[in-house]
Amino acid sequence: MSDVSNHMPTAELQALDAAHHMHPFSANADVAEKGVRVITRAKGVMLTDSEGNDILDGMSGLWNVNIGYGRNELADVAARQMRELPYYNTFFHTTHVPVIALAAKLAELAPENMNGVFFASGGSEANDTNIRMVRHYWELKNKPSKRIIISRKNAYHGSSIGSASLGGMAAMHAQGGLPIPDIHHIGQPDWWSEGGGKTPAQFGLERAQELEQAITDLGEDNIAAFIAEPVQGAGGVIVPPETYWPEIQRICDAHDILLIADEVITGFGRTGNWFGSETMGITPDIITFAKGVSSGYQPIGGSIVSDEVADVLGNSEFTHGYTYSGHPVAAAVALENLRIMEEENMLDHVRNVAGPHLREKWQALTDHPLVGQASIVGMMASIALTPHKDSRAAFASDPGTVGLVCRERSFANNLIMRHVGDRMVIAPPLVISPAEIDMLIERAWRTLDETHAHLKDNDMLKARS
């Protein structure tokens, strides 16, 4: 077996990476010029790079390593499953034990009326499933005109052509002819950037009522579903005003449309409950899951489906599925991940230990001159950077310029924070301890100080007029 500690020198790895590896969501020439950081191993909440730096992973990888790194139980389960049955499919009237056990476990954890699970390898595939599933559902109910799916601007639902169409990322729609037909986007509940002079409560209600307006405009008979993340993740950890979700639920109930909660980030403890739907008090018809279900140790995702939807679909062949729908190794690893989360009371840790501690320290960041708003739900949080707190002004520079400066300072301080425009976001592993949270905050504070100094030196503290 090769020894990971005995790898090539960093410069050689970087050169090979630049020559052959095409990075997602990156300009490769830019990546090559700056040189990549090579992560070699990880334990708990800490990553180690090829130069021996220890980096606090404030993002749980890509919002997914909820249980933290280095859990040998998951490696053992994967090895055992690979020896016993490395692969078999779930098409053509066949199944296997890990997928049975995981589906049953997910049905147990999900809201009471949700007991069907359709598997995929990740969130994008699952949302592609959802597009076909909700349209097929209405076909089976003899309402084939119900095809439009309403989503939101600045939503993230994945990167495949279907899921990216559901998403509301303008930069993604600008490439490759997206969105596909019959997807409609309404405004997002981002009060900080878009709320103007309204109170958060007023604004939340108004943004929810855009859904009702869209239903009126497009015709209830043409609408299949509304999809949304309980808390937007990739859009910048946008926590909606409290008035938002109850009104959305009311509208979905009043009109005959399905509610899809994309819980790829908010599922599996991220908000302090098994699902963000519980935290936000909503009752979806379909839940999209991925990421935290396996803590990223294996790629797996899918759709948890209400009994009503499952019953309707059950009477005909759904001509849809992936080679790796319910992969046995991924399923076994996810099951073990969930077992450990329960055994170690990780939801309780988020609710009563790490969550409150992070909340207190994170909200105190608003004392920093650059930080206008701090938002947090469970273990996902954001800060909005601004040159002028009272007016909630944006910087004069192009959106994201300041955020990128801040992210680069953060990396230099051995803290992984992500920037979304000029918001900084974190979503640390759920297992993070209070002492590690203190370390995270200390590095974040230093990063903000350095960013502030940089902006001052370069005359970048001006507000957009």
- Positions that interact with ligand PLP (CB under 6 A): 122-124, 127, 156-158, 229, 233-234, 262, 264-265, 290-291, 301
Question: Both tokens of residue 322?
Answer: 């992936």
Which residues, other chains included, contact 201 with Cβ-Cβ below 8 Å and sequence gap of 6+? 241, 242, 243
Let me know: does 379 contact 237? Beta carbons within 8 Å. Answer: no
Give the nearest distance from C-beta 258 to ligand PLP in angstroms: 17
Which residue, 105 or 152, has its beta carbon nearer to ligand PLP? 152
- CA–CA gap between residue 447 and residue 257 (Å, rounded): 45
Question: Min. distance of Cβ 122 from ligand PLP in angstroms?
Answer: 3
- Our CB check for ligand PLP shows the closer of 248 and 265 to be 265
Minimum Å gap between C-beta 262 and ligand PLP is 4
Least Å distance between CB 301 and ligand PLP? 6
Q: How far is the CB of 190 from ligand PLP (least distance, A)?
A: 16
Q: What is the smallest separation between the CB atom of 120 and ligand PLP, expressed in angstroms? A: 8
Q: Which is nearer to ligand PLP, 124 or 154 (CB)?
A: 124
Closer residue to ligand PLP in complex, CB, 122/272: 122
- In the complex, what is the shortest distance from the CB of residue 132 to ligand PLP, in angstroms, rounded to a whole number? 16
Of the two residues 153 and 446, which places its CB atom closer to ligand PLP in the complex?
153
Residue in the shown chain whose Cβ atom is closest to ligand PLP: 123
CB 44 within 8 A of CB 68: yes
Instruction: Specify the residue, 157 or 443, whose C-beta has the smaller distance to ligand PLP.
Output: 157
Nearer to ligand PLP, 124 or 273 (CB): 124
Closer residue to ligand PLP (CB): 45 or 420 = 420
- Cβ 168 to ligand PLP, closest distance in Å? 12
Please enumerate, as own/partner, the contacts of 76-85 that have beta carbons within 8 Å and a separation of 24 or more.
77/332, 77/333, 77/335, 77/336, 78/297, 78/298, 78/329, 78/332, 78/333, 80/332, 81/328, 81/329, 81/332, 81/333, 82/329, 85/328
- List Cβ neighbours of 189 (8 Å cut-off, separation of 6 or more): 203, 204, 207, 208, 238, 240, 241, 244
Instruction: Provide the token pair at 2.
Output: 């090769």
105 or 418: whose CB is closer to ligand PLP? Answer: 418
- Going by C-alpha positions, the residue among 447, 446, 423, 441 that lies closest to residue 373 is 423
Q: Edge to edge, what strands does the sheet with 415-416 contain? A: 39-43, 46-49, 54-57, 415-416
Q: Are strands 39-43 and 223-228 parallel, antiparallel or unpaired?
A: unpaired
Measured CA angle at 365 (ends 55, 420), to 5 deg: 65
Q: HEC profile for 173-224?
A: HCCCCCCCCCEEEECCCCHHHHCCCCCHHHHHHHHHHHHHHHHHHHCHHHEE
In the complex with ligand PLP, the residue whose CB is nearer, 272 or 296, is: 296
State both tokens at 394: 């944006």
Distance CA 417, CA 411 (A): 7
Residue 228, CA distances (Å) to 171, 172, 262, 340, 429 in order: 19, 17, 6, 29, 23
Residues 6+ apart with CB under 8 A from 158: 122, 123, 124, 125, 126, 127, 128, 164, 166, 167, 264
Shortest spacing between CB 234 and ligand PLP, in angstroms: 5
Q: How far apart are CA 111 and CA 68, in angstroms?
A: 26
- Provide the minimum distance between the beta carbon of 266 and ligand PLP in the complex, in angstroms, as a whole number: 8
Q: Which is nearer to ligand PLP, 71 or 291 (CB)?
A: 291
**Least CB distance to ligand PLP at residue 106 (A):** 16
